[in-house]
Amino acid sequence: MIETPSPSQNKPVTTEQTPLELIVVGAGFAGLYALYRAQASGRSALAFERGGDVGGTWYWNRYPGARCDVQSMEYSYSFDEDLQQSWDWSERYAAQPEILKYANHVSDRFALRDRIQFNTSVIGLRYLAEHQVWRVETSNNDMYFARFCIMATGCLSSTNLPDFEGRDSFAGEAYHTGQWPHEPVNFKNKRVGIIGTGSSSIQSIPIIARECKHLTVFQRTANYSIPAHNGPIDEAYAQSIKADYQSFRALNRQMFAAFGAHSSRWEESVFDLDETARDEKFEARWSEGGLGFSSSFSDTGSDLKANQIAAEFVRNKIRATVKDPIVAEQLCPDQVIGCKRVCVDTDYYATYNLPHVKLVSVKDNPIERITPQGLVVGDQEFEFDVLIFATGFDAMTGTLLKINIEGRDGITLTEKWADGPKTYLGLCIQGFPNLFTVSGPGSPSVLSNMIVTIEQHINWIMDCLDAMAERSANSIEATIDAESNWVHSGNEIAAGTLFPTCNSWYLGANVPGKPRIFMPYVGGFPNYVAVCQEVADNDYPGFSFG
Ligand code: NAP
């Protein structure tokens, strides 16, 4: 028997025989809600958080311009009426500091912080079948035992730092957007290089450009970006939602991605309208801004020809904004719109009209190496004071696979997922009893409003624990058939969409060697919820209890 070291308030002594009910890995929005639900139902729980405080993605992603692409009134918890009534957002799209403040507010309001060990990573999880408990090993060399593990580890929590030759030789300041320092970075009079043109880069470029002496953007794939039209929140609008917040939430839960119920979207095909009428509608949707533009007609998200019309509308907006026609064409994406995550921006394309901002395409001529002074592309060397890697994440599986997770019969998650992630409902993994994933592979996760999905997952897990208690079960595990069917049907749905047509991080294509599987469930949030509900209502088919 291994005992944990000296007890303190959040360092309980646990053993195989006296385990905690729950270990939660991560204290972002998923971990916080899991702790809240555990606390409310009298379950002993402890969370481990790699960061120094709560907030998860909003703790780490502090780069200039970081803000949420889902509108503030929708990107928040719905579980507590007083919480949603009393919190006031200042902008239509909340910026990172405000969202982090909200995460802190929730932690304090519900006294969750006492149950979190910060600056602590879980490095190993091992299922002890004879005791039906998980042994949890942390980066502090502590050991805990718990009946259940909730992996609230986030989908975009392991940064992707490409293995450029000489990468660590750069002598200036180097940053990754997903691990941004807590102190503001001073760009004044500095020559800045930024690699990547995904959401993080597209948000930060206009802000950095305002301050620095010179900015060079290295673009491998041009991305579609829709204007945010951000601004102070319309008070009357916020109050109208608060007057009946539950109905607003319910309406959004019926949406494919669990948000955007109030955004314009048309039932007709893009081909039902003549060009003028069609463009008027696109124009109206462009003026509204934000995510959802690519699926504003019934077929623009699903039919290639319809999608090309929506894509060309955006390309024409880029051509109309960017004065240099060569730069404009370089910024025009050619993939399906919506295949890679669409970005939302403030002044992104217009920034390329500034004389000190330069775009370098590395599509056909990749970055060759990083040098102490900067980087080399072909026969050109660029020199910088600051180099920013906006190169994304090892999404959805990266963080889970970094933890040494050993399930029943000694099988590790790395072995189990060698050919790609496999889950049942995006919640459970065969061979790994009593371990739940939150917004992991097989869940609508990154294709949905994350907070809504998180609440649904945690509610389902907590109901499942209640159901287990009722039947005096000590363990729950997905069956191999149920898992295979879920993976198979997820792949089938994805194959029928336009998603597999480009190299996105949804497919794992951004990380060399990562198996190419479309990871999120693409059947839509309402369908997903219906399946989960059916499983719970019918005594959990696809699971075995022990
Ligand atoms: P990302 O979308 O994966 O973008 C990474 C960028 O780096 C891409 O342009 C990629 O090019 C480029 N890149 C990667 N490796 C490269 C290499 N070896 N050489 C040259 N370029 C390279 O990452 P992200 O911008 O951090 O965003 C990730 C996701 O986080 C988003 O899609 C979104 O879901 C989420 N996010 C959300 C918000 C928000 O809600 N406001 C903000 C930021 C991020 P390729 O496209 O060619 O691979």
What's 176's domain CATH number?
3.50.50.60
Distance between CA atoms of 486 and 310, rounded to whole angstroms? 32
Q: Which residues in 323-351 are b (16+ Cβ under 10 Å) and which e? A: eeeebbebbbbebbbbbbbbbbbbbbbbb
Any idea which residue has 């007709």 for tokens? 268
The verdict on 213 and 94 lying in the same domain is no
Same domain, 368 and 402: no
Task: Based on the fold, state whether residues 123 and 18 are members of the same structural domain.
Answer: yes
- Ligand 1 centre and the CA of 315: distance in Å? 20
- List the domain range (segments joined by +) for residue 220: 159-224+338-392
Q: Are residues 168 and 57 in the same domain?
A: no
**Minimal-distance CA residue to ligand 1 atom 46:** 221
Last residue of a domain, one of 376, 392, 408: 392
Task: Identify the helix (H) or strand (E) that includes residue 282.
Answer: helix 275-288
Pocket probe for ligand 1: among 343, 365, 445, 510, the residue whose CB has the most ligand atoms within 8 Å is 510
The verdict on residue 125 lying in a domain is yes
Amino acid identity for residue 107 in this structure: S
Task: With a cut of 90, say whether residue 4 has pLDDT above it.
Answer: no
- Overall number of domains in the chain: 2
Amino acid making up residue 80: D
Question: Ligand 1 centre from 161 Cα, in Å?
Answer: 11
Q: Are residues 441 and 499 in the same domain?
A: yes
Q: Is residue 189 domain-resident?
A: yes
Q: Is 229 contained in some domain?
A: no
Inform me whether the pLDDT recorded for 152 exceeds 70: yes
Whole-angstrom distance, CA of residue 352 vs CA of residue 167: 27
Nearest CA to ligand 1 atom 35: 199
pLDDT tens digits, one per residue of 156-173:
999 999 999 999 999 999
Q: Is 211 exposed, middle or buried (0-12, 13-18, 19+ CB in 10 A)?
A: middle
Atom of ligand 1 nearest to the CA of 156: 30
Residue 322 lies in a domain: no
User: What pLDDT is attached to residue 11?
Assistant: 81
Average pLDDT over residues 205-217: 98
Same domain, 531 and 496: yes
Q: Is 158's C-beta closer than 6 angstroms to any atom of ligand 1?
A: no
List, for residues 426-463, the tens digit of each pLDDT value. Answer: 999 999 999 999 999 999 999 999 999 999 999 999 99
Q: Is 504 in the pocket of ligand 1 (CB under 6 A)?
A: no
pLDDT at residue 202 above 80? yes
Residue nearest to atom 14 of ligand 1 (CA): 391
Write the DSSP string, 28-75.
Answer: SHHHHHHHHHHHHTT--EEEE-SSSSS-THHHH---TT-B-SS-TTTS
Which of residues 358, 375, 392 is at a domain's end? 392
DSSP-based three-state secondary structure for 526: helix
Place of tokens 């606390």: 39
Q: Is the pLDDT reported for residue 330 higher than 50?
A: yes
Question: Which tokens in the block code for residue 27?
Answer: 């204290």
Q: Does 195 sit in the ligand 1 pocket, CB within 6 Å?
A: yes
- Residue with the bigger pLDDT between 22 and 11: it is 22
The chain-wide mean pLDDT, for the chain, equals: 96
**pLDDT for res 3:** 37
The reply to whether 238 falls in a domain is no
C-alpha atoms less than 13 angstroms from C-alpha of 150 in its C-beta half-sphere: 35
Q: Identify the pLDDT of residue 9.
A: 56
Share of the chain above pLDDT 70, in %: 98
Which residue has the CA at smallest separation from atom 24 of ligand 1?
Answer: 392
In a domain, 372, yes or no: yes
Reported as a pLDDT band with limits 50, 70 and 90, residue 295 is confident
Instruction: Give 104's contacts (C-beta < 8 A, 6+ positions apart).
Output: 53, 54, 55
Spell out a b/e string for 376-393, using b for 16 or more CB atoms within 10 Å of the CB, else e: bbeeeebebbbbbbbbbb
List beta partners, residue 91.
232
177 lines ligand 1 (CB under 6 A): yes
Helix, strand, coil percent content, the chain, rounded in steps of 5: 35, 20, 45
Whether residues 355 and 450 share a domain: the answer is: no
CA of 390 from ligand 1 middle (Å) equals: 6
Q: What angle do CA 480, 484, 485 make, to 5 degrees?
A: 120
What is the rounded distance in angstroms from the CA atom of residue 332 to the CA atom of residue 177?
24
Per-residue confidence (pLDDT) for residue 69, from 0 to 100: 96
Are 402 and 532 contained in the same domain? yes
pTM: 0.97
460 in the same domain as 526: yes
The CA distance from 470 to 467, in Å, is: 5
Instruction: Tell me: do 129 and 77 sit in the same domain.
Output: yes
Same structural domain, 406 and 471: yes
Confidence check: pLDDT of 469 > 60:
yes
User: Where residue 219 falls among pLDDT bands split at 50, 70, 90?
Assistant: very high
Structure tokens at 468: 């287990």
Mean of pLDDT values over 335-342: 97
Those residues with Cβ within 8 angstroms of residue 355's Cβ, 6 or more apart along the chain or in another chain: none
The mean per-residue pLDDT over the stretch 305-326 comes to: 98
Q: Is there a domain that residue 293 lies in?
A: no
229: number of CA atoms within 13 Å, CB side? 10
The CB of 201 under 6 Å from ligand 1? The reply is yes
What are the tens digits of pLDDT across the range 75-102? 999 999 999 999 999 999 999 999 999 9
Where is the domain boundary, 361, 376, 392?
A: 392
Residue 42: per-residue pLDDT: 97
Facing residues of 216 across strands?
193, 358
Tokens linked to 170: 């750069």
Three-state DSSP class for residue 352:
helix
- Ligand 1 centre distance from Cα of residue 63 (Å): 13
Find, among 521, 73, 523, 96, the residue nearest to 261 by Cα: 73
CA distance linking residue 122 with residue 24, whole number of Å:
10
- Kindly tell me if the per-residue pLDDT of 357 is higher than 70: yes
Q: Is residue 113 part of a domain?
A: yes
Same domain, 142 and 196: no
